[in-house]
Structure 1
Amino acid sequence: MTNFKISLYTRYLFLLLFIFSVGIISAQKYAYKLGEVSMAELEANVFAKDTTADAVIISEYAYRTISSKKYTLRKRLKTPEIPSRGFAQNRYYDMIPYVLETEFQRKVKILKSGGLSQATVEIPFYNIHSPYREELIEGVEAWSYVLQNGEIVRNKLKKEDVRIVRMNDTLSQVQFTIPNAKVGGVLEYKFKRVTSMEYANLNWEFQSDIPTMFSIYETFYYDAFVVNQEIKGPFEIKTHAETEHPGFTDVSQSEFAGRNARRILYVAQDIPAFKKVDRIWCMKDYTPGVRSELLATRYMGYVPYADKWEDVENRVSVESQFNKNNYGSMFYGKELKALLKPIKSEREKIEAIYRFVKKKIKWNGVYSLYDEPQEAVNKGVGSNSQINAVLMRALYRNKFYVYPILVNLRSEGRFPASFPTYERIKTYIICVHTSDGEKYYLDGSAEYGGLNMLPSDLMTDNGRTLARSFMLSEGQSNGNVNLTDINSADTHVNIIGRLDENGRIKGQLEQVYGNLSAMFFRENIHRNKTSNLRNEAEKLGQISDYQLANHLDNLSDKVTENFGFSIQLQQSGENISFNPLLFSSFLFKEQLEEGRTLPVEFDVPKSIHIHSEIEIPENYELIQHLQPAQEKLSSGAFDFQYTIAVQDGKIVTDYVLNMREVVFAPTDFDELRKIFYIVVEKNQEKVLLKKR
């Protein structure tokens, strides 16, 4: 088994051709075996494909399989025996006897002093030793290689220098520092991770914080385990797959005798260092790697985990008692009945329930898929799923058609494109219908938002409704839900001012924050105790009669900010120059860099409408006119209109921008770049007045 794995790995290695200035690693068949470090690797001192790199991964290799060594794992961790639960009670515990084994090794070249940090290695792992969740790191070995007097000197990590540090109640780290690491040297290390399958993460990432020259990820799964795998990211990843009928020398694997196995090699070359890109929800959606998830098992009959979305639904139901928690008897029954009795409007009833529950239970900052709601009712604080369970019970018991939508957080990545998923489900939100067909979206984490005002991290573009068990109407199947367009951030600004002969503008400003803008405003006020616009106005001049409306009502879809202002403009002789929009905090300021290859992902759709009227003195004339602008993306997802004119002694300006979608593909970039440039140009343009 081991010999075959090594021979197959060697057979599919690519020739490595990487050029270093002042040293060349020449083309060769690079049989990656620990301890084989060449003079060329040690003499090279610059990585030509990224001369800024402090270090580079010369090669790395990972091998992953599912095996039946759970009892060995328990013996090593000294955890209790697995209690008998019975297959009929919970079929998903049939994976308890199995573990995911991952062998990993890496070779790193240190190019600059900044690369010496690569000698310190930290390997996180779960420290929960229960019958159902166990993990350990074993077989840690490491070496450094340096040139001294033309000879290769090797230093090995001592076992006593490998330490385990407990980080918190659930995570620990294996930590070690490879000895004698020096600039110009090479480091090697390896380890093995063993994880109980119930909580194993089958995904793999190729990209690191330093460039990677060559990487192989190999999977070997017996056909008792049906694993979905999907390549992601913009870089080419070559694959080779083989079906095998291996022999057995390990009695712990004898239950797989007679079964086939599938081996897949994923090979990546020339992967640049990871760099965060602005306006991307989750970089792991675009980094090179392999998404994987257990679809089913078939060693005790066919047991689906995530073969179809219906399997995911069943698993959610079994593991979380979802129907019981979310459609049980109503909490706060007497109080809610009294509250709702005089309310006739269905929307107002939904709002009343939403307001009541959020007042009773504060969000604790945790997103989860299921937690016992009674605990949150008792404590007055809970996760979003606990609050949602209380909400769903109240809505359901008051005859509303209500169901959950499964989501992952934007910041943690989308669901896979080619197969259903259970592992990537983070939480759920609520959708409730009225009898006239209106739909409203709610979540317990929306502390400062009302109906259809979700935190942007929940507004994913591939949520998933649950099907028959959750009351979807007859004939309506479960499906994907795009939550990015359920609401928008709307801003309406009205500026009325008068310029006097001394160059001072006095006037009144009203800004109306609508829908998601209202929620974001309340969040900002709570966090910073003031608004961005007020800060800017006070820096530019003086404000008076400052007023806010609806900012304390967390369900309101509108907040109004109002104040008087007085701003002294700079004069140059008899000329006065100023931007007729006066303030910039409410303007659209996005720009799109050249050479971008990844999509642009904004937070939420938005609309901005600014109307400005500035009366000018009779003894001044406009000598520099600004030009109007009108631009529109061919898809209609983005448009901008800017008009300016002198009417009845006033400079009248209208600035209207609409962004109806949040994700734009690289094919839109040429158009978008042009539009963004014009928007930013109009943000900054000034009119010029001259005294007659």
Structure 2
Amino acid sequence: MKAKAFVKFYCCLIILAGSYFSVSAQDAGAKFGKIEEQELALKSFEADTSAEAVVLSDHAYSHFNFTTGKTQLIFERHTRVKILKKSGYDWANVSIPLYQNNSSKEKVNSIKGFTYNLVDGKLTKDKLETKAVFEEQINEHWSSKKFTMPNVKEGSVVEYSYIIVSDFIYNLRDWEFQTSVPTVWSEYEVQMPQYFDYKFLYNGYHPFHKTGKGGGDSFDLDTNRGVYSWKMKDVPALKEERYITTLDDYRAKIEFELQVVHHPVEGSKTMTGEWNQVIDELLSSERFGTQLNRKGYFKNEVAAILAKYNTPEQQMEAIHELVKKKVKWDGMHSIYTGGPLRKVYDNGKGNAAEINLMLTAMLQEAGLEAAPVLVSTRRHGKIYKATPLLTKFNYIVAHVKIDNKDYLLDATDPLLPAGMLSYQCLNGEGRLVKSKSDVWLPLKPKASYTEFRIGEFAISETGEVKGKTTDSYQGYSALDLRRSILEAGEQKYAEEHNKSAGDYKRSGTVFKDLHSVEKPLELSYEVQVEGNKQQNNLIYLNPMMGQNLKENPFKLKYRYYPVDFAVPIDETLSYRFTLPAGYTLDEKPAPVSIALPNKGGQFLYRVEQQGNVVTLMSKISINKTVFGIEEYPYLKELYDQIVAKQAESIVIKKGEGKTL
């Protein structure tokens, strides 16, 4: 029976805005060896003057070869890069990863390359010699073919091409359109046989290239050959900035998942299962579900907890605390156990799956409705819910439902209270591992990053300021600070805290509730600022007392991916300053109240005088955890305003001041 002469395609596309259209094959990138004079003459890249290099063109073509007696997957690549700065020399170092498993392998053929320079107005080119290509064995399955392009200098254009022949015909290579430097042109073509059905997964925020060809199919399709083509131009550099998950979550790329293989004789075979099938297989695995049923080694401990605590919430918290104290995390992320959980329990050390599967089993033994949850951590990347692949997950947490309320628990971190997830787990949704259940749980923070500072200060006639502050940290702020203090040691941290304030001398740092993770953490300390009285009896003082935001965390003028804070932020500062007798407030910063669109956040700031007391209130609230690309300018401007306003000073004057 002949296979059907068509292929079904499913696309998960996230694009910046609007629609995109197909591009004809005639729009392909540069031809090998044909260098344009303007490419060599280029001194800097106008669209990004900070660029150390520019990918002028990057073209790849994947196709299948049926003529060698066995089917092989062929991947051909041609790349051209302009080197603009010495820091971009690394773009002349090429590494080609190759995989092998038993007798099946990948090998690279036809490596060729040239480096082009402009010397005294004339084009010169240096050939990549065969002896400059070498192979490095990484491990049993992976090796790398490497070479460095010759005679590279600032202004060079390097060009190379190669062909990979692969026995792994089901592993169609993914393609990245975006790198750490700008890309002028990137193109990927795939010729698919009629026997394979693929799901296409597009990731990123840069749209595909448009032409005047108009609407219709999103891909360039030659119905006779089954050739699909994806093309982008003017792709900006992907630069790492604060508040992201992992850069790969934002990179413009396309991935392929083989759905069905149509065999002319044997018929069709589905290559991916449904979620319920994947979950059932996981529950029957010796390295996962089977471990949940082996509970004899902790029955006495759980029985003691049930005898001591009456409510399900108390029992849940006590079991969570027991596992945290009993087993230390070895730092390894995994969704599988490495052996029996009893051995982990006895040794007191285990990976994330072992610890949290043990936690789940104990919660079940206590009669609570508990099940594991599959998680992809922030650095591991986001998941596609429509794609049932266990490789997309790398972590386990426990879920408990009490009185229709959901709790997510992680016992790998001794500083995490019950019901609070670590930063790394705040990443989209997690899959509940429960038979005949199709449940995804939002991995959202149950607390904010909250700081509240209260200070009482007295100002002398010489301008000297003395006082005491109490800083309260809650939620994720308390989690971060507790970790910093305990890692450094209380005494050493206090010493560093006392000397880390510049002109603001701190002393007598005291911690409160450092070891009570369910409570706010408090720091109390004294502050002194030497007098800075100026001529004409004026005293200048920044009332933020060293707690002002020194620089905007958002450096990029344009950001091509969202801002992900992970947790809401609430930072409040309330200080009172008692003025010396006969002095009054002469100048003060203008009050500010700035709000982000859609109630995303706000900044409040005001200085007031009541009698001989000057009060300062500064409050930063970030209510949303994720801000889209279109919201970035507002967020950047908000932080510009915060930095500027918190840097302003008040002026205190002897005698009657201005009417403020």
| 2:439 alignment partner, one of 453, 462, 478 | 478
The structure-2 alpha-carbon separation of the partners of 1:293 and 1:689, relative to structure 1 and needing over 3 Å to count, comes to same
CA drift at 1:227: 2.0
What SS does structure 2 have at the residue aligned with 1:469?
Answer: coil
Point out the more displaced range, 529-538 or 515-524.
529-538
What amino acid is the match of 2:228? I
Show CA shifts across 1:353-408 (max 9, x none).
22221222211222112223525335422221111111111111111222333332
Match of 1:138 among 105, 108, 113: 108
- Aligned partner (choices 565, 571, 574) of residue 602 of structure 1: 565
Are residues 65 and 388 of structure 1, via their aligned partners in 2, closer, same or farther at CA, if it must alter by over 3 Å? farther
- Amino acid paired to 1:291: E
Closer/same/farther in 2, CA of residues 13 and 235 from structure 1, 3 Å limit: farther
CA contact 1:518–1:556 (8 Å) conserved in 2: no
Q: Do the aligned residues in 2 keep the contact of 1:430 with 1:443 (CA within 8 Å)?
A: yes
Could you say if the C-alpha distance between residues 11 and 237 of structure 1 is closer, same or farther in structure 2, counting changes exceeding 3 Å?
closer
Measure, in 1, the Cα distance between the counterparts of 2:223 and 2:325.
60
Matched letter for residue 63 of structure 1: Y
Q: Deviations over 1:540-584 (max 9, x none)?
A: 34444321123234x434212122333324221322122333231
Q: Residues 243 and 421 from structure 1, CA distance in 2 versus in 1: closer, same or farther, beyond 3 angstroms?
A: farther
| TM-score normalised by L of structure 1 | 0.77
Q: Which residue of 2 aligns with 1:258?
A: none
Q: Rate the CA distance shift 1:586–1:429 in 2: closer, same or farther, 3 A.
A: farther
Equivalent in 181, 186, 194 of residue 215 of structure 1: 186
Name the CA shift for 1:538/1:207 in 2 (closer, same or farther; >3 Å): closer
* Structure 1 letter corresponding to 2:311: S
Residues 1:12 and 2:25 aligned together? yes
1:612 corresponds to:
575
Q: What pairs up with 1:192-203 in 2 under 5 angstroms? A: 192=164, 194=166, 196=168, 200=171, 202-203=173-174
Q: Rate the CA distance shift 1:151–1:493 in 2: closer, same or farther, 3 A.
A: closer
* Correspondence 1:663 to 2:638: no
Q: Name the amino acid aligned to 2:585.
A: L
Deviations 1:175-201 (A, max 9, x none): 223455566454323141637579x58
| 3-state secondary structure, aligned to 1:410 | coil
Q: 1:308-362 CA distances to partner (integer Å, 9 max, x unpaired)?
A: 5435434544667532234542543323332442122333322222222122221
In the alignment, structure 1 residue 122 sits paired with structure 2 residue 95: yes
Aligned to 1:366: 332
Aligned partner of 1:189 in structure 2 is: 161
Whole-angstrom CA distance in 1 between matches of 2:551 and 2:372: 34
- How far is the alpha carbon of 1:290 from its aligned partner? 0.8
Give the 3 Å change call, closer, same or farther, for CA 317–130 of structure 1 in structure 2. farther
CA contact (8 A) 1:441 1:454 kept: yes
Equivalent positions of 1:328-347 (< 5 A) are: 328-329=294-295, 331-347=297-313
In structure 2, distance between residues paired with 1:587 and 1:153:
49
Counterpart Cα distance in 1 of 2:600 and 2:286: 40
User: Per the alignment, do residues 68 and 313 of structure 1 end up closer, same or farther by CA in structure 2, a change over 3 Å counting?
Assistant: farther
Q: Secondary structure of 1:518's match?
A: helix
Structure 1 residue aligned with 2:523: 561
Amino acid at match of 1:493: R
Q: Residues 525-540 of structure 1: matches in 2 within 5 Å?
A: 525-529=485-489, 530=493, 534-535=497-498, 539-540=502-503
Q: 1:146 to 1:543 in 2, by over 3 A?
A: closer
Say which of 446, 457, 461 aligns to 2:413.
446
The TM-score normalised by the length of structure 2 is: 0.80
2:95 aligned partner, one-letter code: E
State the secondary structure of the residue aligned to 1:37.
coil
Deviations 1:137-176 (A, max 9, x none): 4325123255899787663532x54333244677543222
| Partner residue in 2 for 1:380 | 348
Secondary structure of 2:219 counterpart: strand
| CA separation of 1:278 and 1:181: change in aligned 2, threshold 3 A | same
Residue identity opposite 1:408 in structure 2 = S
**Partner deviation per Cα, 1:112-146 (whole Å, 9 max, x = no partner):** 6665544432223457x469xx7544325123255
Q: Distance between the aligned counterparts of 2:634 and 2:499, measured in 1?
A: 31
Secondary structure at 1:412 match in 2: coil
Q: How far, CA to CA, are the matches of 2:404 and 2:630 in structure 1?
A: 36
Equivalent residue number for residue 502 of structure 1: 462
- Out of 231, 242, 246, the position equivalent to 2:202 is 231
* Match among 400, 405, 408 for residue 376 of structure 2: 408
Q: Does 1:268 align with 2:232?
A: yes
2:219 corresponds in structure 1 to 240
2:276 is aligned to 310
Q: Indicate how the Cα distance of structure 1 residues 491 and 153 shifts in structure 2: closer, same or farther if over 3 A, else same.
A: closer
Please give the alpha-carbon distance, in whole angstroms, between the structure 2 residues aligned to 1:542 and 1:295: 65
* CA distance in 1 between partners of 2:444 and 2:590 (Å): 34
Q: 1:102 to 1:427 in 2, by over 3 A?
A: farther
The letter of the residue matching 1:37 is K
Structure 1, unpaired ranges of 5+: 1-8, 17-29, 73-97, 247-261
Q: Give the partner amino acid of 2:571.
A: I
Residue from 78, 97, 100 that aligns with 1:105: 78
Shift of the alpha carbon at 1:519? 0.9
Supply the AA of the counterpart residue of 1:294.
Answer: L
Is 1:540–1:567's contact at 8 Å kept on the other side of the alignment?
A: yes
**Are positions 1:571 and 2:533 aligned together?**
yes
Q: CA RMSD in A?
A: 3.9
Query: 1:652-680 CA deviation, whole Å, 9 max, x = no partner?
Result: 23333322211112333454345434433
2:546 is aligned with what amino acid?
Answer: F
Please say if 1:323 is aligned against 2:289.
yes
Match of 2:477? 517
**1:115 to 1:68, Cα distance in 2 relative to 1, 3 A:** same
SS at structure 2 position matched to 1:583? coil
- Preserved contact between residue 484 and residue 605 of structure 1 (Cα < 8 Å): no
CA shift in 2, pair 1:47/1:634, >3 Å: closer
C-alpha spacing 1:611/1:152, structure 2 compared with 1 (3 Å) = closer
Equivalent residues of 1:609, 1:655 under 8 A apart = yes
Aligned-pair CA distance for 1:268: 2.3
Compared CA separation, residues 13 and 325, structure 1 to 2 (3 A)? farther
Q: Secondary structure at the residue paired with 1:393?
A: helix
Is the contact between residue 214 and residue 269 of structure 1 (CA under 8 Å) also seen in structure 2?
A: yes
CA 1:450–1:52: 2 relative to 1, 3 Å:
closer
Aligned-pair distance for 1:447? Answer: 4.1
- Specify whether residues 402 and 502 from structure 1 end up closer, same or farther in structure 2 by C-alpha distance, changes over 3 A only: same
Letter in 2 for 1:501: E
Does structure 1 conserve the Cα–Cα contact (< 8 Å) formed by 2:175 and 2:255? yes
Cα distance in 2 for partners of 1:190, 1:666 equals 37
Contact map agreement 1:228 1:419 (CA 8 A) in 2: no
1:489 and 1:505 map into 2 onto residues whose CA distance is: 29
Give the aligned partner of residue 144 of structure 2: 173
CA distance in 2, matches of 1:154, 1:439: 65
Residues 135 and 556 of structure 1, relative CA distance in 2, 3 Å threshold: farther
Aligned length: 614
Q: 1:645 to 1:345 in 2, by over 3 A?
A: farther
CA–CA distance in structure 2, aligned partners of residues 67 and 376 of structure 1: 49
**1:155 correspondence with 2:123:** no
SS of the equivalent of 1:341 reads helix
TM-aligned CA deviation for residue 437 of structure 1? 3.2
Amino acid at match of 2:204: G
SS in 2 for 1:450: coil
Q: Check the 8 A contact 1:446/1:453 in 2, yes or no.
A: no
Higher RCO (CA < 8 A, seq sep 6+): 2
Unaligned runs of 5+ in 2: 1-21, 210-217, 656-660
| Among 383, 401, 425, the residue aligned to 1:458 | 425
Give the SS at the match of 2:360.
helix
The alpha carbon displacement at 1:230 in A equals 2.7
Conserved? CA contact 1:485–1:661, under 8 Å: no
Corresponding residue of 2:243 = 279
